[in-house]
Structure 1
Amino acid sequence: MKQIIARMWKLIRGPLQWRVLWFAHAKFMVGVTGVVRNEAGEVLLLKHRMWPADRPWGLPTGYAIKSEEFQKTVVREVREETGLEVVPGRLVQVTSGYKLRVEIAYEALHVGGVVKLDSFEILEAKWFSPDALPEGMQESHVHLVKAGSAP
């Protein structure tokens, strides 16, 4: 049976193979999070309008768009949500997320810009010491901040 499948696979080379693979495999969204720090080592946290009321604080995050490099997603999302400019750094974490989602987190360094919040998504932006994070913060984001604090 495996030989028959292998022969059939060879016969459908090209676009048809890709179509079969596309239908046979899961489709993923890629959520990208930035652990943004300033020169003082403080981390940028946002109070998200659409997150649960008891856990509104978290890191800048959003979805990668088709063909976008994930580090550029961090830069774009931070700029869109806060107006700030960042330079992406090292990869902090890659995990499978909720349902068909992959979660990727990068460190990023604040390098400029003036805070101009996207009021549709973001209620507030503040810098916090990693040792004094606010109540109501996403637990997964607390772990990312702590992971990024390690030397």
Structure 2
Amino acid sequence: MAEHLDSNYCQRCGQALEQREFEGKPRPTCPSCGFIVFLDPKVAVVVLVSDGDRLLFVQRGAEPQIGKWCFPGGYVDRGEQVEAAARREVREETGLEVEITGLIGVYSLPSNPVIVIAYSGEARSGELIPGTDAEDAGWFEEDELPELAFPHNVKIIEDWEACC
């Protein structure tokens, strides 16, 4: 049986998968039909919502990094448009409706199979209320940020200041 797989069996014929080298990398491969599995990264979105000199953050209510702060965001659902996912995540985590005002950047780490797409946005309506997966939500001055959950949060702020 192949190790470190999302699935141990071929989705085409049901045969147990094996690790075989393909294009210089070990890949889960079906020894029966030859189907090669490419383990795709997840796509996530975050929104840097600004209000003057204040930035919106949510305090994480779940691991990883429970209790630390990050931008509202989460995974894009299959079939969902990326900007729609960004607006949905802000609404779910903060109660606010936002207008996406720009693309800040796209981020990834070799150690984590997630692609993070960061947008800038502005709150248009709603009441700031933390969602069920957040301990808290709040506005912070740029020079008084809370303890951030992820290293790429700092890079996103730097890129936002440079571009938007």
TM-score normalized with structure 1 length: 0.74
RMSD of aligned alpha carbons: 2.1
2: distance between equivalents of 1:123 and 1:69? 27
Match status 1:33 vs 2:46: yes
Aligned sequence identity (%): 28
For structure 1, which runs of at least 5 residues remain unmatched after alignment?
A: 1-19
Q: Is residue 113 from structure 1 mapped to residue 113 from structure 2 by the alignment?
A: no
The Cα shift of 1:137 comes to: 4.3
Pair 1:87-2:95 in alignment: no
1:96 deviates by: 2.7
Q: Which secondary structure state, in structure 1, belongs to the residue aligned with residue 160 of structure 2?
A: helix
SS of 1:106's equivalent in the other structure is strand
One-letter identity of the residue aligned with 1:114: E
In the alignment, which residue of structure 1 is the partner of 2:161? 149
> Which stretch shows the higher mean deviation, 66-75 or 135-144?
135-144
Distance 2:148 2:117 in 1: 22
Does the Cα contact within 8 Å between 1:78 and 1:84 map onto a contact in 2? yes
> Greater share of helix residues, 1 or 2?
1
Listed as ranges, the matches of 1:41-80 within 5 Å are: 41-50=53-62, 51-53=64-66, 56-80=68-92
Structure 2 unaligned segments of length 5 or more: list them: 1-32
Q: Amino acid of the residue matched to residue 142 of structure 1?
A: V
CA drift of 1:70 comes to 1.2
Letter of the 1:62 counterpart:
G
> Normalised by the size of structure 2, how large is the TM-score?
0.69
Between 1 and 2, higher relative CO (CA 8 Å, sep ≥ 6) is seen in 1
